[in-house]
Amino acid sequence: MPHVFEFRSAKLFMEHKGVDIYHVYTDDDIDQGERTYWFAVHDDGQDDNAHGTDGVFDVRCLPQPDTSPSLADQPPFIGADQGHELGFASYDEWKDSAEYKRRQQLWHDWHQTVEAQAIKNTIRNAIEIGALTPNGAVTTTD
């Protein structure tokens, strides 16, 4: 069965000092949702282009601001390595612990209340120091 594809402009995420920042979509498909950390200075929504050189960038690679909130303010991780570092014998034991549940709640709260503001603050900082322009990311840290 034939498919009809329709171009729709990406949603504007923010504007700062004349630089428009747009969402980027998983597999360039709006129906698959916005990517969390990838953005662009153009509205085509594509995520498959070269990092930085085409206006698409990963906010985690931008210089972090000196002021909060920033991505550096994320809660402590809850992976298997963290459980091992805390002395849990197995991942299952770690997942059943009160500390794991506490960290899980911290991540939930981060995603609900702080993450978008930290991303916006990072982008604002990058624009203000000249690391992000209407043409894309000028400098990145990998």
pLDDT tens digit string along 36-86? 999 999 887 666 555 555 788 999 999 999 999 999 999 999 988 999 999
In a domain, 142, yes or no: no
42-76 burial code (b ≥16 CB/10 A, e <16): bebbbbebeebebbbbbbebbebbeeebbbeeebe
- Reported in sequence order, the residue ranges of 26-131 that DSSP labels E, i.e. its strands, are 34-40, 56-58
Q: What percent of the chain has pLDDT over 70?
A: 85
Task: Specify the number of domains making up the chain.
Answer: 1
Q: Is the pLDDT of residue 17 over 70?
A: yes
Q: Where in the sequence is the domain holding 40, given as residue range(s)? A: 12-137
In a domain, 4, yes or no: no
Cβ contact 71:119 at 8 Å: yes
In a domain, 7, yes or no: no
pTM: predicted TM-score of the whole model, two decimal places? 0.81
Would you give the DSSP letter of residue 84? H
Cβ contact 97:88 at 8 Å: yes
Q: Is the pLDDT of residue 140 over 50?
A: no
